[in-house]
Amino acid sequence: MNFMEIAQTGITIIIGAMALAVVGIVVGLLYKGIDRKIAAHMQGRIGPPLRQPFLDVRKLFVKENVIPENAITWVFNLAPITGLVATITILLYLPIGGFPALLDGIIVAKGDLILILYLLMIPSLAMVVGGFASGSPYATIGAQREMATMIAYEFPLAIIIISLSWRLSLVQGTTHVFSLSTITATPLWGIVGPLGFIGLVILLLTLVIVTPAELSKIPFDSPEAETEIAGGLLVEYSGRNLAMFYLTDGVKTLVMGTLIVALFFPYNLSPLLGLESYTAIIIDILFFLAKLFCVILFSVTLIRVSIARLKIDQIVYTYWVPLTLLGLVGLICLMWDQTIMTQFGMQSIANMLGLI
């Protein structure tokens, strides 16, 4: 590439990153509003208006930004910025609305899924560092709980990613199995048999249960438990710092929903309907938003409305034992499915149904 092409690519990435940041914040806050509204109706309440998250952020940005007397000021202020930037960065590697990822094959060509796993930890680590830096005993307890929760849910999450990538590596001619573009281009539902289908359903269920812990939502929100530790990690945050953590939560909700869609439902409607041009783009975006709504509904809203908050030891046990075993069962199903298909020459479910 010559200098002009490099400069052009750089400008495109910068503009695209800014646009994705705006879209991520707006869509993330919108889905937070939808989540709160649906949860309220399920509990027999009217609930806040859909625009309430936007009003909350606007209010926080004009409020005074109070720094605790015993806080490490520069760390305390840097933590929310770090969490927000890291979360927005993940959007650059995710296929959104039927479009390829902005940085697909540009910076990390072979293992962007591994990079996403590391980036997902940064917002939680930022909250932990901010909690310790605040000097509050409540925040310190919350930070300790957050670290224990992270250690617990990262293991089943890793099992899910390894299982999907391993199965994809057995597809002839497939390379870069830890790349999201490869996974979205080769949906696993179309290459597995009946037992593999069951394994994928189990892995999807595991990821759905991991999601609320990744987002610190009920029943896995013990690091922020208001009734126990007065807000925990965020007890000393206010003003624009709290607003940035609020934005981080909204964008991370979009990130986790998009990740589930990319791994398990990377389909578009336009090829099926034979659409092209702008009509295809609009239909694919609307279909993506519908898939995202369903994912957030089942992985966030229904779970937090149905189950009360768990204690920290219950959270750790849930992820280390039942969820880890569930993920391993999904992996074993995929392994047995591949063995059976190889030995007996069985076709995938998609071929048996005549879908391919």
pLDDT band per the 50, 70, 90 thresholds, residue 329: very high
| pLDDT tens readout for residues 274-324 | 777 788 888 888 999 999 999 999 988 888 888 877 888 888 888 888 999
Q: Is the pLDDT of residue 355 over 60?
A: no
Determine the structural domain holding residue 54 and report its residue range.
3-352
Report yes or no: 327 and 161 within 8 Å, Cβ to Cβ.
no
Q: Is the pLDDT of residue 58 over 60?
A: yes
At residue 170, φ and ψ (nearest 5 deg) are -85, -5
| pLDDT tens readout for residues 138-179 | 888 888 888 888 888 888 988 999 998 888 887 766 777 788
Residue matched to tokens 């999807």: 204
Instruction: Compute the distance between CA of residue 142 and CA of residue 231 in angstroms, rounded to an integer.
Output: 8
On average, the pLDDT of the chain sits at 84
Residue 3 confidence (pLDDT): 65
Averaging pLDDT over each range in 101-115, 149-163, 208-222, which range is the top one? 149-163
Report yes or no: 34 and 18 within 8 Å, Cβ to Cβ.
no
Residue 356 confidence (pLDDT): 46
Instruction: Compute the distance between CA of residue 187 and CA of residue 167 in angstroms, rounded to an integer.
Output: 11
From the number of C-beta atoms within 10 Å of its C-beta (0-12, 13-18, 19+), residue 69 rates as exposed
Domain count, the chain: 1
Report yes or no: 86 and 122 within 8 Å, Cβ to Cβ.
yes
Instruction: Compute the distance between CA of residue 94 and CA of residue 289 in angstroms, rounded to an integer.
Output: 14
Global confidence as pTM: 0.88
Q: What's the whole-number mean pLDDT along residues 327-339?
A: 87
Amino acid at 220: F
| pLDDT tens readout for residues 1-53 | 566 767 777 787 788 888 888 999 999 999 999 988 998 988 888 888 889 99
Report yes or no: 213 and 220 within 8 Å, Cβ to Cβ.
yes
Q: Which residue has the higher pLDDT, 129 or 349?
A: 129
Percent of the chain with pLDDT over 90: 21
Residue 176 confidence (pLDDT): 78
Q: Which residue has the higher pLDDT, 308 or 254?
A: 254
Q: Which residue has the higher pLDDT, 348 or 329?
A: 329
Q: Is the pLDDT of residue 353 over 70?
A: no
